[in-house]
């Protein structure tokens, strides 16, 4: 069993991933008392500490199986979509790197972090990263995504590898691969990575990776796993010196078709229903663009008639226009953050501990977990 190390009530509470009101619910003490523990004005009884400690252990046992069959590191971890997929395939995460404080709040609330967490990858020293079997990196896609590129172009900014702060992050991954030489890796990005800069970006990436690894790539549409059209490119690499005859195959598409109706909640707060003003605006905007012959406008889904949604993006928090759920007799509504979690394939117990805005950004940036899980199961056949 792993150790849970903590010095203060707050540290233990954070390890357990509990918010103050959840501690109050778990222990039966009033929120005011819990607040006093948090402030260090009062000290909780041993029975309270024991309860929280048990909660931590349960969580650690659940999320980091001690009987793991391989280890991995989670770079650009976001909220742990990649991690979840690889844990489901029997792996143990031994290092995390993520710089966004809100993503880290979600990450810590959902995963045991008995290992170091790096912040800005540009400053992470490879000597501080433990040896591992598989390196995971869903590196930022804005420098390569169609929307990101056109926005940067219109602002006269550099994109792709020329985007000095974000475009070069691939080379940080390469630096870590060179230093740590894991047996395998999984990189994930937007489909447009392949076409960015007329294919040159992809060429540079492949040339760098193929020096020491056999690389297999595939664009996978998550709609075969979750009710969402979401195409992403996956690059899987195996060390040439260890796997000279590797013949890796990406998973076969599952037969069943997931349905959006199956993940929608029955009771949804009315704040998710679009106001008349926003709904009018979206309809007028779409009509204007249709006349000009461009753009799709909003993406209205009737769960009685359609099975899948468009791609959930990190900008969903703005107006929700890419995925609107039809409601009979009233304006359409957005998905709730909980529904976004399901749409990305996180399970029901996944905790959302941040504002709606942050949650939408985090789920829009995440990977579809069951896709990663399926790829992980294929990779681990060889590890
Ligand atoms: C596309 S998201 C990855 C999401 C993740 N795969 C998941 O399923 O949640 C990219 C992540 O990289 C993080 N990131 C961007 N630049 C970074 C940097 N320089 N150092 C560390 N993390 C960074 C972002 O905050 C974001 O969470």
Sheet architecture: strand order including 184-190? 117-118, 91-97, 70-75, 134-137, 184-190, 231-239, 213-221
Ligand 1 atom at minimum distance from 136 CA:
6
The pLDDT score that the predictor gives to residue 77 is 98
How far apart are the CA of 75 and the centre of ligand 1, in A?
Answer: 7
Pocket test for ligand 1, best of 72, 73, 74, 76 (most atoms within 8 A of CB): 76
Give the CATH class of 66-256+365-379: alpha beta
d(CA 117, CA 76): 11
d(CA 115, CA 2): 11
How far apart are the CA of 18 and the centre of ligand 1, in A?
Answer: 23
The answer to whether residue 113 is catalytic is: no
Ligand 1 pocket member 84 (CB < 6 A): no
Pocket test for ligand 1, best of 104, 193, 314, 365 (most atoms within 8 A of CB): 365
Ligand 1 atom at minimum distance from 100 CA:
25
β-pairing, 184-190 vs 231-239, is antiparallel
The pLDDT score that the predictor gives to residue 14 is 77
How far apart are the CA of 198 and the centre of ligand 1, in A?
Answer: 25
**Ordered mean pLDDT values, 10 residues apiece, the chain (383 residues):** 64 79 88 92 89 72 67 98 96 96 96 90 95 96 63 62 67 97 97 91 94 98 97 98 97 93 96 97 89 80 97 95 96 98 96 97 98 97 93
Please name the residue that has the structure tokens 């249709």.
290
Ligand 1 pocket member 100 (CB < 6 A): yes
How far apart are the CA of 344 and the centre of ligand 1, in A?
Answer: 16
The pLDDT score that the predictor gives to residue 2 is 42
Ligand 1 atom at minimum distance from 84 CA:
8
The pLDDT score that the predictor gives to residue 31 is 92
The pLDDT score that the predictor gives to residue 326 is 98
How far apart are the CA of 183 and the centre of ligand 1, in A?
Answer: 23
Of residues 143, 132, 133, 125, the one with CA closest to residue 205? 143
Ligand 1 pocket member 193 (CB < 6 A): no
For the chain, domain boundaries: 9-63, 66-256+365-379, 260-351
Mind spelling out the 3-state secondary structure of 298-326?
CCEECCCCCCCECCCCCCHHHHCCCCEEC
Whether the Cβ atoms of residue 212 and residue 185 lie closer than 8 Å to each other: no
The pLDDT score that the predictor gives to residue 64 is 52
Of residues 321, 358, 319, 315, the one with CA closest to residue 337? 358
Ligand 1 pocket member 120 (CB < 6 A): yes
Ligand 1 pocket member 321 (CB < 6 A): no
Q: Which helix (H) or strand (E) holds 20?
A: helix 20-27
How far apart are the CA of 292 and the centre of ligand 1, in A?
Answer: 36
Fold of the domain built from segment(s) 260-351 = DNA Methylase; Chain A, domain 2 (3.90.120)
Pocket test for ligand 1, best of 80, 82, 98, 340 (most atoms within 8 A of CB): 98
The pLDDT score that the predictor gives to residue 113 is 84
Ligand 1 pocket member 367 (CB < 6 A): yes
How far apart are the CA of 67 and the centre of ligand 1, in A?
Answer: 28
* One-character DSSP codes across 70-125: EEEEEET-TTTHHHHHHHHTTEEEEEEE---HHHHHHHHHHS---S-EE-SGGG--
The pLDDT score that the predictor gives to residue 284 is 93
For the full predicted model, state whether its pTM sits above 0.75: yes
Is the domain spanning 9-63 CATH 1.10.260? The answer is: yes
CA angle at 46 for the pair 42 and 49, rounded to the nearest 5°: 85
User: 9-63 and 260-351 share one CATH topology?
Assistant: no
Ligand 1 pocket member 97 (CB < 6 A): yes
Ligand 1 atom at minimum distance from 77 CA:
5
């Amino acid at each position: 069993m792993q150790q849970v190390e903590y010095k203060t009530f707050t540290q233990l509470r954070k390890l357990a991933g509990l918010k103050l009101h959840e501690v109050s619910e778990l222990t039966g003490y009033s929120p005011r008392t819990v607040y006093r523990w948090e402030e260090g004005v009062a000290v909780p009884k041993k029975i309270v500490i024991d309860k929280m400690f048990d909660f931590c252990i349960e969580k650690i046992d659940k999320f980091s199986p001690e009987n793991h069959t391989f280890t991995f590191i989670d770079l650009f971890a976001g909220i742990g979509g990649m991690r979840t997929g690889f844990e489901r395939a029997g792996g143990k995460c031994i290092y995390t790197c993520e710089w966004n404080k809100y993503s880290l709040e979600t990450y810590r609330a959902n995963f045991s972090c008995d290992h170091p967490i790096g912040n800005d990858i540009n400053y992470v020293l490879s000597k501080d990263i433990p040896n591992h079997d598989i390196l995971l990196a869903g590196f930022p896609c804005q420098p390569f995504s169609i929307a990101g590129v056109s926005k940067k172009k219109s602002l006269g900014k550099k994109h792709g590898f020329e985007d000095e702060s974000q475009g070069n992050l691939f080379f940080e991954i390469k630096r870590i691969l060179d230093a740590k030489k894991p047996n395998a890796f999984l990189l994930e990005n937007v489909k447009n990575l392949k076409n960015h800069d007329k294919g040159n970006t992809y060429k540079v990436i492949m040339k760098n990776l193929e020096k020491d690894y056999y690389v297999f790539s595939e664009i996978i549409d998550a709609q075969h796993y979750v009710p969402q059209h979401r195409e992403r490119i996956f690059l899987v690499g195996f060390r040439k010196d260890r796997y000279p005859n590797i013949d890796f195959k990406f998973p076969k598409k599952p037969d069943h078709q997931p349905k959006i109706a199956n993940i929608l909640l029955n009771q949804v707060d009315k704040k998710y229903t679009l106001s008349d003003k926003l709904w009018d605006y979206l309809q007028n905007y779409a009509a204007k663009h249709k006349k000009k012959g461009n753009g799709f406008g909003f993406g209205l889904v009737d769960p009685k008639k359609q099975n899948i949604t468009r791609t959930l993006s990190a900008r969903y928090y703005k107006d929700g226009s890419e995925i609107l759920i039809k409601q009979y007799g009233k304006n359409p509504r957005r998905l709730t953050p909980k529904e976004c979690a399901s749409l990305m394939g996180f399970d029901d117990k996944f905790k959302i501990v941040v504002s709606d805005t942050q949650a939408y950004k985090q789920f829009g940036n995440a990977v579809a977990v069951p896709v990663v899980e399926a790829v992980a199961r294929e990779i681990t056949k060889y590890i």
